[in-house]
Structure 1
């Protein structure tokens, strides 16, 4: 494949990521939605875990920590989507995580950000503050949950960065993380709905949408893993941040959210800042 086709693949992955988040935001029962989305992920992870070698013993604490962070991310995302617009929440959550990762690199590894990274963090902060405004007032209900979602994204990203390197087999590590994170999500919905029959008792269209969203999320992640074989990690990560712009557009097209000039500019600032951090790294 050519470099251009790989770039387009990553951009399509970003669109898919924003799309399954839009389905989640629009769902009348978001907890049920994430539980059903986790069903195909659980199946694929279980099959992969059976065929791949076990991760190294030193990686197992990271598997557990990453799974906890993934579940925390899901819970925080559900809470944020209850209170805020999709085109507001998604860019904040995705945009703040690169800045937090850069801060963690400073604290944990002594990596001081250069002027490019510092400018990027300023762009992200300005963009987020703009997205947090509703009229002349800050949105105090949805923005904290969106920021917490970004914290969990940064947490599992950092944990997985160490986990993949220490596991001896990156795919095995990912499979076990997906398995450990999917079990509590599926189990919660299983218990709440009174068993397997209750889980699938929703209208067939909603069940198909939830399962389909889970497959879309898994496919989008697989595309990123594939692209990492051909492009530098920083480039792939930066291209993925375009999903924040897709989120603003999807919110306008399908969720009837306002597409104000300020929201567009704010989203662009967040994406530009995230790209600068990852490309600069």
Structure 2
């Protein structure tokens, strides 16, 4: 599998596989976000998920994949810091705002800065038609967020802080997407990066979640929380692993844009699962997001 993936990097086959991986990551990332915003406290859910994928990744990192090259430790350290800040901001934003408000802003802020980072670091360029697709996609995402801001009444008192946190979180999405793409390309075996990344990344939040759970007057039962964490751990492997692999096989900017169709999946999950209202205007805006992604994909 590893040899085959390496052999298709930069080829038409690699482009097709990267497309599939990016769309898979989009759907699973929306599922991941809904898990964190669900019935449990977002900080506790994140701790349960991180602890699960840390423990699941450890045997593969220590005993299965080749060990990282010496230069990878600096990359892992930087990735750990950026992902930790991202997760703090994400949990805080979900604490203050509704899922269908916070998620579009987070995902809408990230793609533009990721495309710029891909240009500066990987010398990737977009055609004029692709830039039009980026504009269409971002118009749909921010239009969805604006619609939610105007019509959402239940969390009006915390909406401004939620939106501010969401924008800053989006900036860190761009940072970690670009750095992760650099990291997975910097090692010979991509699964080395994935296994060690998940083991290292999952270390901190279980400690934070435990301290928060311990201080709660009405702390939730541990087993239902851990069930969500284990399921979320598998989703994280598939979601983040898919997008990281897509950025190795093909252009970082295109993969990042396609991943942001997760906003469409998020709105559907918010409507079907979290029982948040989704009307015809939202449907039209989601169609705009999808159209933008299609333009980016076929405009290259």
TM-score for the superposition, normalised by structure 2: 0.76
Could you tell me whether the CA contact under 8 Å between 1:48 and 1:175 is conserved in 2?
Answer: yes
Could you tell me whether the CA contact under 8 Å between 2:133 and 2:295 is conserved in 1?
Answer: yes
The CA deviation string for residues 180-204 of structure 1, in whole angstroms up to 9 with x for no partner, is 211111222234445xxxxx97253
- Counterpart of 2:7 in structure 1 is none
- Counterpart of 2:189 in structure 1 is 169
Cα distance between partner residues in 2 of 1:149 and 1:13: 18
Cα distance between partner residues in 1 of 2:233 and 2:53: 7
The CA deviation string for residues 53-105 of structure 1, in whole angstroms up to 9 with x for no partner, is 22222222111111112112211211222233222322332233221111223
- 1:190 counterpart SS class: helix
Cα distance between partner residues in 2 of 1:21 and 1:93: 11
Match of 2:162 among 133, 142, 162: 142
Could you tell me whether the CA contact under 8 Å between 1:22 and 1:247 is conserved in 2?
Answer: yes
Cα distance between partner residues in 2 of 1:119 and 1:186: 42
Match of 2:144 among 124, 131, 141: 131
1:46 paired with 2:58, answer yes
Cα distance between partner residues in 2 of 1:102 and 1:125: 12
Could you tell me whether the CA contact under 8 Å between 1:35 and 1:186 is conserved in 2?
Answer: yes
Cα distance between partner residues in 2 of 1:115 and 1:246: 27
Cα distance between partner residues in 1 of 2:97 and 2:54: 29
The CA deviation string for residues 220-258 of structure 1, in whole angstroms up to 9 with x for no partner, is 4455678889x8567766654332211101111122212
Please tell me the root mean square deviation across aligned C-alpha atoms, in Å.
Answer: 3.5
Q: 1:7 to 1:56 in 2, by over 3 A?
A: closer
- 1:31 counterpart SS class: helix
1:254 paired with 2:268, answer no
- Counterpart of 1:197 in structure 2 is none
Cα distance between partner residues in 2 of 1:9 and 1:160: 15
- Counterpart of 2:34 in structure 1 is 22
Q: 1:154 to 1:58 in 2, by over 3 A?
A: same
- 1:57 counterpart SS class: coil
1:94 paired with 2:92, answer no
Cα distance between partner residues in 2 of 1:163 and 1:10: 17
Cα distance between partner residues in 2 of 1:191 and 1:251: 29
- Counterpart of 2:8 in structure 1 is none
For this pair of structures, how many residues does the alignment match? 274
Cα distance between partner residues in 1 of 2:117 and 2:247: 23
- 2:160 counterpart SS class: coil
- 1:186 counterpart SS class: helix
Cα distance between partner residues in 2 of 1:57 and 1:121: 37
The CA deviation string for residues 132-180 of structure 1, in whole angstroms up to 9 with x for no partner, is 3222899533222222222222111111222122223221122222222
Cα distance between partner residues in 2 of 1:89 and 1:278: 26
TM-score for the superposition, normalised by structure 1: 0.80
- Counterpart of 1:245 in structure 2 is 264
Runs of 4+ in 1 over 6 A off after TM superposition: 3-10, 225-229
Unaligned runs of 5+ in 2: 1-12
Deviation of the 1:22 alpha carbon: 0.9
Q: 1:23 to 1:70 in 2, by over 3 A?
A: same
Q: 1:152 to 1:237 in 2, by over 3 A?
A: closer
- 1:146 counterpart SS class: helix
Unaligned runs of 5+ in 1: 195-199
Deviation of the 1:8 alpha carbon: 7.3
1:156 paired with 2:176, answer yes
Match of 1:35 among 47, 56, 65: 47
